[in-house]
Amino acid sequence: MKRKQLLFTSVPLHLLHIILCISCLSSQAQSTVNIKDYSGTLTSYTLTDIHKLTFGSVDFTITQNGGATNTYSFTNVRYVNFTGSTTGVQNSNTFPGVFSVYPNPAIDELQLLYTCDVDTEVDLEVKDLQGRIVKNEKQNASAGDNYSSIFISDLPTGFYICTVRTENKQQSVKFVKN
């Protein structure tokens, strides 16, 4: 299997696997990153052509293997979408079924959908890209599908990671705050 490692700067290393969860790529897969801005422009990159992603406080830059760079402001990005790639490691300590957040990007309130296999208490946590916990709530969840919301209107614009955690399981999802 041919492997390609992406280089990152300005992001703590322990967060890299949470942000993108990409450590190696198969040469047969055409994994892509799609970026759509509010004007409707969709830009696609194959992951094998990306040399480096650099995250700043208000923007991020994609540097391609040939040296070309494109910078995207968080406030102008409607969504970033990864297709055709493995974006995580299967882990028996993750929630069964679905864990999703919507809308993504969000402005005032983030809706969460997650499934628990038993009645339990869950921690809902939001971290910024520097790994700081910016929101943390405890809620009671029942076996089956659970719907919750977290108010995020006080957060600055940017990328965040939402985690739902029980005593022995957790799962995380990336989202954008506009």
Dihedrals phi, psi of 74, to nearest 5 degrees: -55, -35
Determine the 3-state secondary structure of 100 from DSSP.
strand
Q: How far apart are CA 3 and CA 24, in angstroms?
A: 5
Confidence (pLDDT) at 8:
39
User: From first to last of its 178 residues, what are the pLDDT tens digits of the chain?
Assistant: 444 444 434 444 333 333 443 333 333 346 778 888 888 888 888 878 888 888 877 888 888 888 899 998 888 887 777 666 544 444 445 555 567 888 888 999 999 988 888 899 999 999 998 889 999 999 999 988 888 999 999 999 999 999 998 887 888 889 999 9
- Verify that 111 and 135 share a domain, yes or no: yes
Confidence (pLDDT) at 97:
54
Q: Is residue 2 one of the residues assigned to a domain?
A: no
Number of helical (H) and strand (E) elements in the chain, helices listed first: 1, 14
* CATH number of the domain encompassing residue 53: 2.30.30
Q: Is residue 171 one of the residues assigned to a domain?
A: yes
Confidence (pLDDT) at 39:
85
Q: How far apart are CA 107 and CA 25, in angstroms?
A: 33
149 neighbors 79 (Cβ within 8 angstroms): no
User: Domain total for the chain?
Assistant: 2
Domain-terminating residue out of 59, 83, 107: 83
A 10 A CB-CB count for 22 gives: 21
- Verify that 103 and 169 share a domain, yes or no: yes
Nearest in space to 158 (alpha carbons), one of 77, 69, 82: 77
Task: Give the range of the structural domain holding residue 106, as residue numbers without chain letter.
Answer: 99-177
* CATH number of the domain encompassing residue 157: 2.60.40.2550
Nearest in space to 35 (alpha carbons), one of 23, 50, 24, 22: 50
Q: Is residue 23 one of the residues assigned to a domain?
A: yes
Determine the 3-state secondary structure of 74 from DSSP.
helix
Domain-terminating residue out of 83, 108, 123: 83
